[in-house]
């Protein structure tokens, strides 16, 4: 079943299995007690296992200590039914099946940016790398997002004594050129299923598409598609000018999207960027294109200048956020899939 999980929901029994399941990798950990930090159990490739239960079984077989009694899993997909298909991988995640397979009392499945948003409630300054001026965060909504295998985004919205987490499908919204430099490259960007979306360009595969488009626009000929890691490496070193331009374009486009979503949610509490790409391209993000695009939102440019933007420097922030969701059910309100052992009957 899919519902809104809130303070009235039953609590998690410990130990709690936590998992961050993406299109490429899945990370699993165990939270031994309320307020305890998650212990990382394993980091596996989703393609290496036919389904999540098989992967979890292999991970737990190598772990020491007591078996989990409940689970909360974050998945890179829209959670809109009892069976969730990963957007960029073959796994289907069913909380009920996982609960039954491992004899759990409760199993919860949420969008992968729900726990990142939860973790943003208590991010310490040392857990952040500012992009642009270091500014104090306001008391309003906080926005978390990140380009990785795909593109995820969620908002953490204060409401009375609760924190509501709003997950989105912002990565699948249309995206187009906005200035002369964009228009030179845009005709050469390869669409996905007939569309150019935020995720088409602001993701790992998107970085490869941007590099191919820049190369075609500048040289007039196609080049072999480069792996995103190679685009990043060659762009940062300067050995490939097309890769360097692609990274700069990526940073500018990311700034545009961050600014648009910050306006959408009135994110005066700040914008926090996760995902696997941003921490690797910090020098590019800091050169100005990102922040300039973020602030260029007339007639609200002054308001945008006051919003801090940062890259999350914490490793596996989703696992920390999942631990917070399990430990503090009286604080967070969020949408997800929830299964209880009583539903076996």
pLDDT, position 343: 62
pLDDT-above-90 percentage for the chain? 74
Statement: residue 1 has pLDDT above 90? no
Tell me, yes or no, if the two domains 2-111+329-344 and 124-313 fold the same way.
Answer: no
Give the H/E segment covering residue 293. Answer: helix 289-295
Query: 20: part of which helix (H) or strand (E)?
Result: strand 16-21
| Contact yes or no for 279/96 (Cβ under 8 A) | no
The pLDDT value given to residue 124:
84
Residue ranges of domains in the chain: 2-111+329-344, 124-313
Longest Cα separation, the chain: 65
What gap in Å lies between CA 243 and CA 199, rounded to an integer?
19
Q: Is 169 exposed, middle or buried (0-12, 13-18, 19+ CB in 10 A)?
A: middle
**What's the pLDDT tens digit per position in 13-40?**
999 999 999 888 999 999 999 989 999 9
User: Tens digits of per-residue pLDDT, 318-327?
Assistant: 899 999 999 9
- Does the 124-313 domain belong in CATH 3.40.367.20? yes
Q: 122-140, pLDDT tens digit by residue?
A: 888 888 999 998 888 888 9
The CATH number of domain 2-111+329-344 is 3.30.420.40: yes
**Is residue 51 within 8 Å of residue 89, measured between CB atoms?**
no
Render pLDDT for 83-114 as a digit per residue (tens, 0 to 9): 999 877 889 999 999 999 999 999 999 998 99
Helix (H), strand (E) at residue 93: strand 92-93
Reference 185, options 207, 218, 147; nearest CA is 218
């Amino acid at each position: 079943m899919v519902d809104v999980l809130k303070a009235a929901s039953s609590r998690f029994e410990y130990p709690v299995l936590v998992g961050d399941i993406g299109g490429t990798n899945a990370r699993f950990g165990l939270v031994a007690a309320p307020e305890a930090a998650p212990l990382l159990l394993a980091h596996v490739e989703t393609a290496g296992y036919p389904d999540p239960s098989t992967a979890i079984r292999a991970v737990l077989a190598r772990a020491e200590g007591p078996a989990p009694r409940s689970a909360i899993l974050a998945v890179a997909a829209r959670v809109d039914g009892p069976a969730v298909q990963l957007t960029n991988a073959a796994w289907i995640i069913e909380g009920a099946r996982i609960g039954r397979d491992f004899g759990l009392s409760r199993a919860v499945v949420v969008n992968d940016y729900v726990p990142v948003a939860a973790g943003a409630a208590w991010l310490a300054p040392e857990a952040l790398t500012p992009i642009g001026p270091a500014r104090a965060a306001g008391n309003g909504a906080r926005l978390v997002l990140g380009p990785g295998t795909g593109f995820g985004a969620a908002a953490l919205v204060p409401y009375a004594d609760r924190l509501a987490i709003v997950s989105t499908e912002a990565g699948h919204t249309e995206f187009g050129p906005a200035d002369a430099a964009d228009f030179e490259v845009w005709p050469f960007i390869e669409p996905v299923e007939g569309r150019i979306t935020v995720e088409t360009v602001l993701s790992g595969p998107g970085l490869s598409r941007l590099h191919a488009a820049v190369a075609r626009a500048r040289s007039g000929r196609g080049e072999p598609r480069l792996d995103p890691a190679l685009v990043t490496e060659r762009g940062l070193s300067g050995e490939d000018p097309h890769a360097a331009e692609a990274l700069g374009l990526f940073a500018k486009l990311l700034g545009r999207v961050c600014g648009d979503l910050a306006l959408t949610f009135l994110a005066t509490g700040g914008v926090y960027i996760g995902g696997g790409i941003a921490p690797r391209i910090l020098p590019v993000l800091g050169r100005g294109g990102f922040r300039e695009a973020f602030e260029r939102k007339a007639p609200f440019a002054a308001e945008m200048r006051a919003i801090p933007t940062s890259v999350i420097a914490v490793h596996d922030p989703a696992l920390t956020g999942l631990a917070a969701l399990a430990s503090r059910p009286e604080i967070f309100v969020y949408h997800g899939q929830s299964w209880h052992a009583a539903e076996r009957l």
